[in-house]
Amino acid sequence: MKNAFTLLMFVLFSVSAYSQELAFDVRGSASNSIKKDQLRQASTLKDIRANYPSSWITEYTAVDIKCIQNGVTTQASGMNDTLSHAQRQLLISAEIGADLLFEIFHLYRNPVTGNTELREVQFSYSIIPQSEAVFYGGEEALNAFLKEKAIQKIPKATGQTFDQAIISFTVNEKGSVHAITVEKSSGDSKVDKVLVNALNKMPNWKPAENEEGVKVKQTFQFTVGYPGC
């Protein structure tokens, strides 16, 4: 009886696992993004981050902005939430794809101990194009393409052994897809190959553009996984 119950539970779990549809998504690779026009117009940290905690930072010791671009880090410093000339020039000169790290050092009086402590607030952004790249036909057409060329070609038996896969790709200035890279494997090389092959067959996109309307490249991430994985 116990064996029969165990078998029944296994079958029910298997049916539930295999009946779930794979979830997939395509989005820009930057989790926190910002555009050049916002950086160009900014004069304070609040112009960059709307919820900047200026109300409880009363005494600054230093404010550093670091720009990581093409593997090179440059830095500009200020003394409070108003951007210095050097900081503004750094933000204006930063290019699309660059990462910006904001480090705010300030003094905090601990209400319990009465001691003054040096604390740090950090936040970061990646610069994205003014007009992002778009798949012709929109999101619905993109999803239909990926479902046909990738999702429906993944064996159902993969089941819960499938880890979330992340494949990055770049839409270049001509709109074609290239630089396809497996950032995180599904755990199954055959599945990874299906996903990469689908991206290799992807038609051209409408390329991204900067503030001047010049076409630029943009990187995206194609994420695939079972719900909860």
- Residues spanned by the domain of 180: 132-225
Q: Are 194 and 149 members of one domain?
A: yes
Q: Are 157 and 74 members of one domain?
A: no
In a domain, 27, yes or no: no
DSSP result, the chain? -HHHHHHHHHHHHHHHHHHSPPEEEEEES-SSEEEHHHHHH--BHHHH-TT--GGG---EEEEEEEEEETTEEEEEEESSSBPPHHHHHHHHHPPTT-EEEEEEEEEEE-TTT--EEEEEEEEEEEEE-SB--EETTHHHHHHHHHHHHTGGGS-GGGGGGPPPEEEEEEE-TTS-EEEEEEEE--S-HHHHHHHHHHHHTPPPEEPEE-TTS-EE-EEEEEEEE-TT-
Please measure the distance between the N-terminal and C-terminal CA atoms of the chain and give it in whole angstroms: 33
Q: Percentage of the chain with pLDDT > 90?
A: 65
CATH of the domain at 156: 3.30.2420
Q: Are 59 and 85 members of one domain?
A: yes
- Looking at 65, 95, 128, the residue that finishes a domain is 128
What's the domain count of the chain? 2
Tell me if 185 sits within 8 A of 167, measured CB to CB.
no
- pLDDT at position 108 is 83
Q: Is the pLDDT of residue 10 over 60?
A: no
Q: Is the pLDDT of residue 176 over 70?
A: yes
Interhelix angle 189-200/138-149, rounded to 10 degrees, is 130
In a domain, 4, yes or no: no
Q: Are 164 and 191 members of one domain?
A: yes
In a domain, 18, yes or no: no
Q: Is the pLDDT of residue 1 over 50?
A: no
* Contact partners, residue 55, CB within 8 Å, separation at least 6: none
The predicted-structure confidence for 48-73, as pLDDT tens digits, reads as follows 998 888 777 878 999 999 999 989 99
Q: Are 39 and 120 members of one domain?
A: yes
The predicted-structure confidence for 133-156, as pLDDT tens digits, reads as follows 999 999 999 999 999 999 998 876
Confidence label for 19 from pLDDT (cuts 50, 70 and 90): very low
In a domain, 56, yes or no: yes
Strand 208-209 relative to strand 215-216: parallel, antiparallel, unpaired? antiparallel
In a domain, 19, yes or no: no
CA-to-CA dists, residue 7 to 2, 12, 95, 99, angstroms: 9, 9, 59, 53
The predicted-structure confidence for 205-224, as pLDDT tens digits, reads as follows 999 999 999 999 999 999 99
- Looking at 81, 110, 128, the residue that finishes a domain is 128
Taking the whole predicted model, whether its pTM rises above 0.95 is answered as no
Q: Are 37 and 124 members of one domain?
A: yes
